[in-house]
Structure 1
Amino acid sequence: MRTVFGIDVSKTSSEVAILVNGEKVHGYTMPNDSIGFNQLLGDLKTVPNPEIVFEATGVYSRRLQAFLEENGYAYTRLNPLEAKKQLDSLRVRKTDKMDAEKLAQSQFVLNRKPTYVQKEIYQQLRDLSRFYQNLTEDIVRAKNRLHKVLQVTFPELENLLSTPTGEQYWHLVMAFPCKVFVLSLTQSQLIDSIRQSTTKRISEKRVEYLTNKLTELAKQSYCAVKKTSPMLEEVRYYAQELLRLSERRQAVLDEMVILAKPLPEYDILLSIPGIAETTATSIIGELGDIRRFQSANQINAFIGIDLRHYESGNFLAKEHITKRGNPYARKILLKGIHNIAAASHTKPCHIADFYENRKRQSQMTSTKPHTIASIHRLIRTIYYLKTHNKRYDYILTQNR
């Protein structure tokens, strides 16, 4: 006797359909809480080796997944796109109850294997990676807002340092949101204020340079608001918020490094020229345990860089990536390619060589963009190194 539980997960509740040898014997709606999960547990205990199928619905299916793992039940978690393709031919009408039943029915036909359950550390790294990415987005948003208000109060201040970012710059912005706060101080007072506005040790020569440059910029600036304007407080707020967000992001990165260091893929990734702590930990967080993939092409599909091919008669469409996978992983790997290319001047890498060659070719003729092709090459390298437990060696890549 074969029993399949098809579960359609929604925000607050889930539809459960129980099929025995292809025939529905029971169905009900359960809340996504301890009461509902205990009801499900009672039904699971009544049958030997139940098969459980549900569709991944982002954060909403996380609780069901955690409940099944805690109670030692294997499950099959379907990608939403995969589930749509498999169930479209079975659907006459679409309701949550029908979806749960069709999920269970399709299991008797497709005989899907249970989902590979990763170690908890990989899920923790993914959660931290998403937190890190969200903090980065918040920092970019705060930088844009700070730039906007500074254009009214003291736009020249952005020319004080080589780049208008970083802890020292934001401290200076908080101290001098408008030229009035510079010109109202004597030379010695301005020097003391600059020293107090930075938490790092700073040389006398550097203090003198900043004092002279700040005075020069203040003299040429024209402030569009008065000293009592609320926009000055807004400038201070965004600078302080950037300091807070940067410190929090660094703390998250430090936690990611602590978690990732014991994993063998951490040192393997760091051995690739151009990949540092941030990229290495983020790649592990987004790709998870690479051993669950059977080939590098599966990773391509997972992050959405597999090519969409369309051909009909004499017409051949230009190939594009599907973009159906993990957008965070695509972004991280894209940044990794640029870092590898930038580091190739001192640390040679066959991926950087491939990138430069494809970049030159793409200016003439190429059906595959050089960056996407390079990401695929990087994925193949990571997959090979991980599955063979080897560190990167540029010389060995030249002998192939």
Structure 2
Amino acid sequence: MTVAFGLDVSKATSAVAIVNDGVTVKQFKIDNNWFGFQNLLKEMKEYAKPQIVFEATGVYSRRVQRFLEDNHYAYTRLNPLAAKKQLDSLRPNKTDNNDALHLAQTQLVIKRRLEYYQKPVYHDLMDDSHFYEQLNEDVVREKNRLHRSLQLTFPEIESLLSRPDGEQYWNIVQRYPHPDLLEELSPDGLGKIIMETTPKNISLNRAIMVAKKLLHLAQASYPADRVEAPSVSQTRYHAKRVSELTRHKQQLIKAMTALAKSLPEFDILMSIPGFAETTTVLLIGELGDIRRFSSSNKLNAFIGIDLRHYESGEFVAADHISKRGDTFARKLLFRTISNIATVAHYHPNHINDFYQRRKKQSPQSGTKRIAIAAMGRLLRTIYHLVITNQMYIYGVKRQSF
């Protein structure tokens, strides 16, 4: 006797269908809360090892997922695109009840693979990584807004330091977003203020040098808005927001590092030249437990760098990557290839060897295309090291990568 539970999960409720050897036993609806899950648990306990399948619906299906894991039930979480392809021919009338029923019916035929159980630490790192990405986007947005408002209040201040970035710069902008605020200040007095408000200790001489340059920029400035204009307070606000968001990012990386250090792959990834703590913890957060992939090709597909080939008749299109996977992970790996190439002079590695060799062999291919090929080589390396629990050593078992 094979029993399948199909769940169509929405925001507040889930449609449930129970199919026993192809016969529909029961269909009902539950609320996605403690009471609803207890009703579902009561039904599942009626059967030994029921097959449970539901379609991933973002944050809405996470409650169902936790409920099943807390009660030690194996389940199949179906990708929405895969579900659409598998169920389209069965959906003349699409309803939640029909979707749940079709999921249960097809589960008995297709025998879908069970979801790999990942420790809670991987889910925590994944959530933190996604939040880090949001903070990154917020920082970029606030920096753009700060730049715009400074063009109205004190555009010259952006040339004060080597680049308009960092805690010292943002603190100065918050205090002096308009050149009129610097009137009647002496270089020595302003230097002391800058030294006291700089997070990292700097010498008084250095602070006075910065103060002199700031005063010179203020004398040359002719801002678009008066010192009483709303844009001045807006500039202060954006500078403060950039500073706060950047500190939050740093605190988040520290928390993620503390979590990730308990995982064996942390030290493995850190052994690869070009990997720093930030790169390592973010990559673990995006990839999760790599052991759940049966091959490195599936890891490539998860990232979205698997090749797509198309031909029809005599026409053969150029191969291109699918880009269906994790966008942030692709960006992270792309930057990592650059880091690996940078440190290769002191820390040689076969990833950079491959990258440089391909650049010489195919200079017309373009740096981006070659970097993507190197990303595939890097993922194969990571997969091999994690599966075999080995540290990276240049030249050792290179043929296995």
With structure 2 as the length reference, what TM-score do the two structures score? 0.95
Deviation at residue 193 of structure 1 after TM alignment: 2.2
Structure 2 counterpart SS, 1:185:
coil
Question: Is the deviation greater in 209-218 or in 380-389?
Answer: 209-218
Q: Contact 2:16/2:100 (CA < 8 Å) preserved in 1?
A: yes
AA aligned to 2:81 is L
| Residue matched to 1:48 | 48
The 2-side partners of 1:316 and 1:65 are apart by 43
Determine what percentage of the aligned residue pairs are the same residue.
Answer: 52
The 1-side partners of 2:361 and 2:181 are apart by 55
The 1-side partners of 2:213 and 2:45 are apart by 75
Shift in alpha-carbon separation, 1:187–1:364, aligned structure 2, 3 A: closer
| Residue matched to 2:225 | 225
| Residue matched to 2:153 | 153
Q: Contact 1:8/1:14 (CA < 8 Å) preserved in 2?
A: yes
Q: What whole-Å deviation, never above 9, does each CA across 1:40-92 have from its counterpart, x for those lacking one?
A: 11111111211100011111100000001111111111111222222223333
Q: Contact 1:8/1:55 (CA < 8 Å) preserved in 2?
A: yes
Deviation at residue 184 of structure 1 after TM alignment: 3.1
Structure 2 counterpart SS, 1:396:
coil
Shift in alpha-carbon separation, 1:272–1:383, aligned structure 2, 3 A: same
Q: Contact 1:319/1:367 (CA < 8 Å) preserved in 2?
A: no
Q: Which runs of 5+ in 1 are unaligned?
A: none
Q: Does 2:114 align with 1:114?
A: yes
The 2-side partners of 1:234 and 1:306 are apart by 45
Deviation at residue 360 of structure 1 after TM alignment: 4.4
| Residue matched to 1:62 | 62
Structure 1 counterpart SS, 2:6:
strand
Shift in alpha-carbon separation, 1:399–1:325, aligned structure 2, 3 A: closer
The 2-side partners of 1:129 and 1:379 are apart by 19
| Residue matched to 1:134 | 134
* Structure 1 residue ranges, 4+ long, deviating more than 6 angstroms after superposition: 397-400
The 2-side partners of 1:205 and 1:395 are apart by 50
| Residue matched to 1:181 | 181
| Residue matched to 1:288 | 288
The 1-side partners of 2:90 and 2:265 are apart by 42
The 2-side partners of 1:298 and 1:260 are apart by 23
Shift in alpha-carbon separation, 1:378–1:61, aligned structure 2, 3 A: same
The 2-side partners of 1:120 and 1:135 are apart by 23
Q: Contact 2:190/2:208 (CA < 8 Å) preserved in 1?
A: no
Structure 1 segment 245-394 matched on structure 2, within 5 A: 245-365=245-365, 369-394=369-394
Q: Contact 1:175/1:197 (CA < 8 Å) preserved in 2?
A: no
Q: What whole-Å deviation, never above 9, does each CA across 1:121-160 have from its counterpart, x for those lacking one?
A: 1111111111111111111111111011011111111111
Q: Contact 2:195/2:203 (CA < 8 Å) preserved in 1?
A: no
Q: Contact 1:51/1:74 (CA < 8 Å) preserved in 2?
A: yes
Q: What whole-Å deviation, never above 9, does each CA across 1:251-277 have from its counterpart, x for those lacking one?
A: 111111101112111011111111100
Structure 2 counterpart SS, 1:248:
helix
The 1-side partners of 2:81 and 2:338 are apart by 30
The 2-side partners of 1:345 and 1:233 are apart by 48
Q: Contact 2:268/2:390 (CA < 8 Å) preserved in 1?
A: yes
| Residue matched to 1:204 | 204
AA aligned to 1:3 is V
Q: Contact 1:362/1:369 (CA < 8 Å) preserved in 2?
A: no
AA aligned to 1:278 is T
Q: Does 2:154 align with 1:163?
A: no
Shift in alpha-carbon separation, 1:87–1:231, aligned structure 2, 3 A: same
The 2-side partners of 1:17 and 1:68 are apart by 16
Q: What whole-Å deviation, never above 9, does each CA across 1:310-352 have from its counterpart, x for those lacking one?
A: 1111111122211212222222212212221222233222212
| Residue matched to 1:20 | 20
Q: RMSD value over aligned CA atoms?
A: 1.8
Question: Is the deviation greater in 298-307 or in 318-327?
Answer: 318-327
The 1-side partners of 2:225 and 2:295 are apart by 61
| Residue matched to 1:238 | 238
Alignment coverage as a number of residue pairs: 400
Structure 2 counterpart SS, 1:89:
helix
The 1-side partners of 2:366 and 2:130 are apart by 34
AA aligned to 2:277 is E
Q: Contact 2:192/2:207 (CA < 8 Å) preserved in 1?
A: no
AA aligned to 2:356 is E
Deviation at residue 353 of structure 1 after TM alignment: 2.4
Deviation at residue 368 of structure 1 after TM alignment: 9.2
Q: Which runs of 5+ in 2 are unaligned?
A: none
Q: Contact 1:350/1:397 (CA < 8 Å) preserved in 2?
A: no
Structure 2 counterpart SS, 1:240:
helix
Q: Contact 1:310/1:317 (CA < 8 Å) preserved in 2?
A: yes
The 1-side partners of 2:355 and 2:399 are apart by 19
Deviation at residue 233 of structure 1 after TM alignment: 0.8
Structure 2 counterpart SS, 1:108:
helix
